[in-house]
Amino acid sequence: MRRFEGMVVAITGAASGIGEATARRFAAEGAILALCDLSEDALAQMVTRTGIAESARTLRAVDVSDIDAISSFIDDAAQSLGRLDVLVNNAGIGCFGHVDEITAEQWRRTMAVDLDAVFFGSRAALPYLRTAGGCIVNTASISGLFADPGLAAYNVAKAGVVNLTRNMAVDHAGEGIRVNCICPGGVGTAMLKSHLRDAAIMEDYERLVPMGRVGTADEMAAGIAFLASSDASYITGTTLTIDGGVTAQTGQPN
């Protein structure tokens, strides 16, 4: 399938994990890419390693919590590449600890990277998406749908992403802009591995997943690409849960 031939797709947090897989997926389907992450070197290495350098026309070091940096990334990409069809707000960080364990600075940083950046990036992209009839796909989390123990700030930030997705979908549907999010369960990226550090903890986690394993970044990218594609032309404001069945169960002992 080459559903994005000639379209311009901007992806945040593209140097690794789900962002990298999403960049590979859109490149394989014909898109021109504008990619940002904290390190331009990491992006350059990723596009070389994965063989997508030809598609990845803009690589930029951006801290997505900086409104000027993310706005100028979007403006420069859309103007130099001539259009913007899809924005994937994907960059994110974890934050572990109960409310009385984390600092105010950790709380604020989590909100800034995981939630404010979605607002900043979307706001910058909307004028271009209006022209292109484009769309936004946000990487939220199942942690934004329920309370994952010990992840208060992260859960709240991702819940904000879910509802910001719905709000933007409703507010901009009349302009031909669709806005959706994916809600991944556990995905075997650096983020999850930093949390579930050893094999035994990972095995315990996987026992709780009806499908018996964590997801892959490619499986998340497939969901993002579906929501961005014309196959999803009547879908807006939705949360696509991709979690191997975790949120389909009550969790009650039997």
CA-to-CA dists, residue 64 to 27, 43, 227, angstroms: 22, 15, 22
Residue 98 is given by DSSP the state -
Annotated catalytic residue: which of 128, 154, 205, 234? 154
Active site residue 154: yes
Q: Which two tokens stand for residue 189?
A: 């990226």
241 binds ligand NAD (CB under 6 A): no
Binding-site residue total for ligand NAD (CB under 6 A)? 27
Nearest residue to 110 (alpha-carbon basis) of 160, 56, 53, 50: 160
Return all residues near 231 (Cβ < 8 A) that are at least 6 apart: 3
Q: Which two tokens stand for residue 64?
A: 């997505």
The span from the CA of 95 to the CA of 154, in Å, is 6
Return all residues near 169 (Cβ < 8 A) that are at least 6 apart: 178, 179, 180, 236, 237, 238
Secondary structure of residue 90 in the 3-state scheme: coil
- The interface mask with ligand NAD, positions 194-233, x = CB under 6 A, is ----------------------------------------
- For the bound state, the minimum distance from the C-beta of residue 183 to ligand NAD, rounded and expressed in Å, comes to 7
Contact set for ligand NAD, span 33-62 (CB under 6 A): 37-38, 62
For ligand NAD, the closer of residues 132 and 154 by Cβ is: 154
For ligand NAD, the closer of residues 95 and 177 by Cβ is: 95
Contact set for ligand NAD, span 64-83 (CB under 6 A): 64-65
113 binds ligand NAD (CB under 6 A): yes
18 binds ligand NAD (CB under 6 A): yes
Which stretches of the chain bind ligand NAD, using CB under 6 A?
Answer: 12-13, 15-19, 37-38, 62-65, 90-93, 113, 139, 141, 184, 186-187, 189-192
